[in-house]
Amino acid sequence: MATWVIGDIQGCLEAFDALLRTLDPDPAADRIWLAGDLVNRGPDSLGVLRRASRLGAECVLGNHDLHLLAVAYGARPCGASDTFQPVLEAPDRKPLLDWLRRRPLLHHDPGIGWTMVHGGLPPEWDLATARRRAAEVERVLAGDRAAAFLAHLYGNEASEEEAAEAGWGRLRYTLNALTRIRCVTADGRLDLSFAGSPEGRPDGLVPWFCAPTRRSRGERLVFGHWAALDLDPEVAKRERVRHVDTGCVWGGRLTALDLQTGEVRSVDCRSSTRNS
């Protein structure tokens, strides 16, 4: 049995289909996990949503998926580089968006001992805390308060203390941590602006998985979100993390990782570059 985790697709349906053909998963034995950011920037977000929703895959929400939901619920306008319009105008818009907002923020499989998130975990959370905090947000997004929450989706609280003072801040901090984190400061505050390679990070920042106070150390975690990250194999082994966003929408590759064997397969995405 294989468990293939696929990185950020971001509307690149052609590459997604090509990678699925390469994997040729056995529906009776193999499993597909999707590490979030199904949509946006690429040419066919609608096609990716349709394919993913019918695939029976485990899928976590990414920051671009949440942005689509905010736009669809009228909480945010479409940006100039967003490629959501075909989704918003589709005849099956409602079932697709309902499927999307019911996806989890974190998927844990105790059978194989792996946990998938889109971004990462803040240093102060162990896995049990992360699962509990994710479930709080998932209940709101799946329920009748989804529109109210999406109207308060945007904010950059960088610590639990700031979040506690901000109304919807606790839920928003959870989303920021699970879907937007890349680096943290020495005292564990989230940095939500840096997106470059780790070698180019400003002084005082460390990748979230290298934070010395990280309470989730020892857990096996797989994540996407950081297209500029070229994760050193020794760091990955030491920190027990794997990364699957290889920048498909930016002209890179779409990658799948088998969590059981460590095998990696990928397809070229130059024909699925960003629609800007």
Going by pLDDT thresholds of 50, 70 and 90, the confidence category of residue 273 is very low
Query: pLDDT digit string (tens) for 201-249?
Result: 999 999 999 999 999 999 999 999 999 999 999 999 999 999 999 999 9
Is 0.85 topped by the overall pTM? yes
Q: Which class for 193: exposed (0-12), middle (13-18), buried (19 or more C-beta within 10 A)? A: exposed
Residue 87 in tokens: 């989704």
Largest distance between two CA atoms of the chain: 49
Query: pLDDT digit string (tens) for 141-171?
Result: 999 999 999 999 999 989 999 998 888 999 9
> What residues contact 141, with CB distance under 8 A and at least 6 apart?
61, 69, 101, 102, 149, 150
Quote the domain boundaries for residue 101.
Answer: 3-272
Query: At 83, which CATH number?
Result: 3.60.21.10
Q: What are the E-state strand segments in the chain?
A: 3-6, 31-34, 58-59, 106-109, 114-117, 183-185, 190-191, 205-207, 220-223, 241-243, 253-258, 264-268
Domain count, the chain: 1
